[in-house]
Amino acid sequence: MAYEIVWAESAAGDLIEAVEFIARDSPSYAATLVARAAAAADSLKDLPHRGHPVREYRDPNVRELIVGRSYRLIYRVLDLRVTLIAFVHVARDLGELAPPE
């Protein structure tokens, strides 16, 4: 059974921010990042637990996929829903993010 994929406003905003920043220097890489993020999110419909648990949280339902080499797509799996909660650079300290609800 396919899981529902929901982009939280925070994750969508993170992705837009990253794409706008990258597009200043490389519109083609920015477009590639969007495509990779969308493909990663879409892959969770059938394999929601394929990502690794997020080490900063002690919740096994909060997981992540690495997009490209530089971004973490962080999501939570509950019931038949995958909520994408953040899209952050791998160097970013997650301590500044609010814990997922």
pLDDT tens, position by position, 5-21: 999 999 999 999 999 99
Residue 30 in any domain: the answer is yes
Residue 100 in any domain: the answer is no
Q: What is the CATH number of the domain that holds 16?
A: 3.30.2310.20
What residue numbers bound the domain in which 46 lies?
4-94
Residue 45 in any domain: the answer is yes
pLDDT, average across residues 87-101:
74
pLDDT, average across residues 52-57:
89
Residue 50 in any domain: the answer is yes
pLDDT recorded at residue 26: 96
pLDDT, average across residues 67-73:
94
Residue 99 in any domain: the answer is no
pTM: 0.90
Residue 101 in any domain: the answer is no
Q: How far is 85 from 87, CA to CA, in rounded Å? A: 7
Residue 47 in any domain: the answer is yes
Q: Work out how many domains the chain is built from and give that number.
A: 1
Q: What percent of the chain has pLDDT over 90?
A: 81
Question: pLDDT-derived band of residue 97, with 50, 70 and 90 as boundaries?
Answer: low
Q: How far is 52 from 19, CA to CA, in rounded Å? A: 24
Does the structure show a pLDDT above 90 at 95? no
Residue that has been written with the tokens 């096994």 in this structure: 60
